Amino acid sequence: MVAVAQKLTYMDLLALPDDGRRYELLDGELIVVASPTTRHQRVSKRLEFALYHAELAGFGEVFDAPYDVQLSPTNVVEPDLIFVAAGRDVIVTEERIIGVPDLLVEILSRRTAGIDRGRGPKGKLGIYERLGVPYYWVVDARHSTITEHTLHDGRYPPQAPVRRTGDHIVCPLFPTITIDLAEVFR
């Protein structure tokens, strides 16, 4: 007889004692999320500011961590930045986002890089792809890059564009907004 581990759900996550830690569920497995570094926070703030311009232009709404995004009953994440396109605000509730946002942004740390870039079990790239997140940006603050994963026919292409300081990002979600990576990574 093979023992099968029970997958945790959002309700299980809510039942955890408040111990000051941040948790995520990846395919029902509990993951502890480390506190971000100073560089991480600076890059996050600057990128959020750029996304806030998209919000001001009426393209949608930006949110930042810590904020639960319940992608499915067994996948609850706290991306660094979240963008929900205009007209899709039905997924935004008082407690959390329930459903798939239009853009998720993860800023790598040494502890989370494998999870954020991973396609296998406990890999956010694979989970976000499988659950249909249209745009997923992986930000490497240490190397000043953003890898843009864009869903095509239900898959993220294997060779995603990597943007660097000096490049600009224009996302189809907010086509009149240009994000200057020199400013984000200064």
Whether residue 91 lies inside any domain: the answer is yes
**What is the length of the chain?**
186
For residue 135, what is the domain's CATH number?
3.90.1570.10
Note if the pTM is more than 0.85.
Answer: yes
Q: Which two tokens stand for residue 45?
A: 């703030």
Res. 21 pLDDT band, cuts 50 70 90: confident
Whether residue 2 lies inside any domain: the answer is no
CA distance 50 to 56: 10
Mean pLDDT, the chain, rounded, equals 92
Whether residue 17 lies inside any domain: the answer is yes
pLDDT number for residue 141 = 93
- pLDDT > 70 in the chain, percent: 97
How far is CA 164 from each of CA 30, 41, 77, 169, 185, rounded to the nearest angstrom?
Answer: 33, 18, 26, 10, 9
pLDDT digit string (tens) for 93-121? 999 999 999 999 999 988 888 888 888 76
Domain extent at residue 112: 10-184
pLDDT digit string (tens) for 30-73? 988 878 889 999 999 999 999 999 999 999 999 999 999 999 99
pLDDT number for residue 1 = 53
Whether residue 135 lies inside any domain: the answer is yes
Whether residue 4 lies inside any domain: the answer is no
Question: Per residue in 73-102, is it b (16+ CB within 10 Å) or e — as a string?
Answer: ebbbbbbbbbbbbeebeeebeeebbbbbbb
pLDDT number for residue 4 = 57
Whether residue 58 lies inside any domain: the answer is yes
**CB-CB neighbours of 65 under 10 Å:** 20
Residue 3, pLDDT > 60, answer: no
> Mean pLDDT across the stretch 14-22?
87
Res. 173 pLDDT band, cuts 50 70 90: very high
> Mean pLDDT across the stretch 8-28?
89
CA distance 24 to 100: 15
Whether residue 1 lies inside any domain: the answer is no
Whether residue 123 lies inside any domain: the answer is yes
Count of structural domains within the chain: 1
- pLDDT > 90 in the chain, percent: 74
Going along 18-144, which residue ranges are E strands? 22-26, 29-33, 60-64, 69-72, 75-77, 81-85, 97-98, 103-107, 135-140
